[in-house]
Structure 1
């Protein structure tokens, strides 16, 4: 066969390759579109929001300044709901007195956190967090400690709030 005999096959092969590429591109667009609108994306967004807002709440509950106790306790109320919120309101004066008497300032940083449960329909989640807290008592050098927390979150509208918070024993 001569080289001239193969020239008819080259345009046909190029057309088939082009058509196949077009079909593959369309399939990729359809699959991407389905993935972008799937319930797994909504679940992931809910999970990320709950974790971020829960993390912020844990930080708020571990950050207080004895010179501005009222602002700290208002943050506690803002980041809480349910029984935890009720307890804060009920014990507000006792908490304020104890914090002022301790003359301490605490600053928290979450080192790691994660959701252990999430029920978007019920608006409930559970999380764990490792928190580094720097404690400064007037006249003393700051000290740092690490605590592990387990928290329950409840969604109010679009906001996830702490409904329970407790330390997890080490060991």
Structure 2
């Protein structure tokens, strides 16, 4: 005699098990995606990457200038800066144009590497160190190539991260 209701279709059992497993995996995947998308460390990493990209570009801009396009180059300098640094560039622009046009030099910079050394996202301040290779070509003679490290202070503005200070990084042993 066959029992009624106790025989199960193995195909139906497998389908139900696979459906439950798929729903669980989808739920776990969705939760993981949501947590990753709303993780503060991901947002902080994006701010750091934005500051680094802007800092590297600004330092490169500040080390690139062609006497044949001096106004365009100085516009780039001003667009890359803010605060006292920008004010100094604007105030000294006329004298600098005369100096560069008289020297007839062309300088071009290439970023070798860069790093964010400080980042205060709330205050909108960052610091970068950028290694560059700068080539300066005078009207006569061979191009002079030098590598240097620059330290830049960045300030976040409505137009993005801008240089607010720039200087040469110390080289060698600075211990007493």
TM-score bin (small chain)? 0.7 to 0.9
Match of 2:169 in 1: 168
1:39 CA displacement: 2.2
1:107 CA displacement: 0.7
Match of 2:41 in 1: 40
Rounded to whole Å, the distance in 1 between the matches of 2:71 and 2:55 is: 21
RMSD between aligned alpha carbons?
Answer: 2.0
Residue 49 (structure 1) aligned with residue 50 (structure 2): yes
Rounded to whole Å, the distance in 1 between the matches of 2:159 and 2:124 is: 10
Match of 1:60 in 2: 61
1:44/1:16 CA distance change after superposition, 3 Å? same
Match of 1:113 in 2: 114
Rounded to whole Å, the distance in 2 between the matches of 1:67 and 1:140 is: 18
Rounded to whole Å, the distance in 1 between the matches of 2:157 and 2:73 is: 21
Rounded to whole Å, the distance in 1 between the matches of 2:166 and 2:77 is: 11
Rounded to whole Å, the distance in 1 between the matches of 2:38 and 2:92 is: 46
Match of 1:89 in 2: 90
Aligned length: 165
Match of 1:142 in 2: 143
Give a deviation string over 1:25-64, Cα, whole Å, max 9, x none: 3112111122112222222222111111111111110000
Residue 80 (structure 1) aligned with residue 81 (structure 2): yes
More deviation, 90-99/114-123: 90-99
Instruction: Using structure 2 for the length normalisation, give the TM-score.
Output: 0.84
Where 1:144 maps in the other structure, the secondary structure is strand
Instruction: Using structure 1 for the length normalisation, give the TM-score.
Output: 0.86
1:9 CA displacement: 9.6
More deviation, 95-104/117-126: 95-104
